[in-house]
């Protein structure tokens, strides 16, 4: 079956994510738009996923647990996991690799941790949009170690897409998919060997995708979606 997906959305835990990107608002918007599945991928953290998962389960929206890591070269890379627990374990593993630079909420925005009632239950001290002290290759390897899927983010967009940040797509890494941005010129390279994902990278509610991008999966479940992206369905 075809699942309507938006697999790159930020919550209010990302400093650049709008304050309205709460668990209930994100999942509610996905539900209204009749999306089958979403992935919330905050910068370098999975800590809002438990609340989002709780809400997603209640509303019947599949949540693919994810993060968007910033490599040492300032390239963005998505990591998708089968379970929130795996995503949290990975999140804990990379936190020590974030520079101990505190967030300045006035400048970068709040980093709000929420519960499933959209109540603020804490913040993250370290600025989450900093680059990890891990190379592109090291990040890819660590994602694999934790059982995740490695998907370079918006490879053709902005200074944080790997085609700009690195100048090329490193070979020798088993990417599960590539995220290509539709809003900018398409990459001038042969992408035929790759699974391509198109997502919103929404930092505001109104930017969450309409039902326009689908993934063929065995059923509407996180396991089936994960397998489909991993190419093992």
Only segment of 21-29, 91-99, 120-128, 156-164 that touches Zn ion (CB under 5 A): 156-164
Site for Zn ion in 43-102 (CB under 5 A): 68, 76
Nearest distance from C-beta of residue 169 to Zn ion, angstroms: 16
Nearest distance from C-beta of residue 153 to Zn ion, angstroms: 5
8-state DSSP, 220: S
Pairing verdict, β 112-114 and 120-123: antiparallel
Query: Tokens at residue 68, please?
Result: 């968007």
Q: Name the residue with tokens 């370079």.
A: 152
Among 201, 202, 228, 229, binds Zn ion (CB under 5 A): 201
Nearest distance from C-beta of residue 203 to Zn ion, angstroms: 7
Residue ranges with strand state E in the chain: 2-9, 37-43, 62-63, 66-70, 76-80, 112-114, 120-123, 149-152, 178-179, 196-197, 214-216
Nearest distance from C-beta of residue 228 to Zn ion, angstroms: 21
- 225-94-41-189 Cα dihedral, nearest 10 degrees: -80
**Any contact of residue 198 with Zn ion (CB under 5 A)?**
no
CA–CA gap between residue 151 and residue 144 (Å, rounded):
11
* # residues near Zn ion by CB under 5 A: 5
Site for Zn ion in 114-153 (CB under 5 A): 153
Residue nearest to Zn ion according to CB distances in the complex: 76
Nearest distance from C-beta of residue 128 to Zn ion, angstroms: 11
Interface with Zn ion by CB under 5 A: which residues? 68, 76, 153, 160, 201
């Amino acid at each position: 079956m075809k699942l309507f997906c938006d697999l790159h959305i930020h919550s209010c835990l990302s400093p650049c994510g709008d304050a309205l990107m709460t668990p209930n608002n994100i999942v509610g918007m996905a539900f209204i738009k009749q999306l089958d599945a979403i992935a919330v991928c905050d910068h370098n953290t999975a800590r809002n996923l438990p609340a989002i998962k709780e809400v997603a389960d209640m509303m019947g929206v599949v949540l693919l647990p994810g993060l968007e890591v910033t490599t040492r070269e300032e390239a963005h890379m998505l990591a998708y996991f089968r379970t929130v627990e795996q995503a949290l374990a990975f999140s804990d593993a990379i936190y020590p690799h974030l520079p101990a630079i505190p967030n300045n909420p006035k400048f970068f925005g709040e980093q709000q941790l929420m519960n499933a009632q959209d109540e603020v239950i804490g913040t993250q001290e370290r600025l989450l949009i900093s680059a990890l002290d891990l190379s592109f290759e090291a990040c890819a390897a660590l994602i694999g170690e934790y059982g995740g899927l490695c998907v370079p983010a918006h490879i053709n967009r902005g200074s944080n897409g790997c085609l700009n940040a690195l100048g090329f797509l490193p070979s020798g890494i088993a990417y599960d998919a590539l995220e290509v941005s539709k809003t900018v010129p398409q990459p001038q390279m042969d992408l035929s060997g790759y699974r391509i994902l198109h997502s919103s990278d929404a930092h505001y509610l109104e930017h969450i995708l309409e039902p326009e991008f689908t993934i063929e999966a065995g059923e509407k479940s996180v396991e089936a979606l994960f397998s489909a992206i991993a190419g093992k369905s």
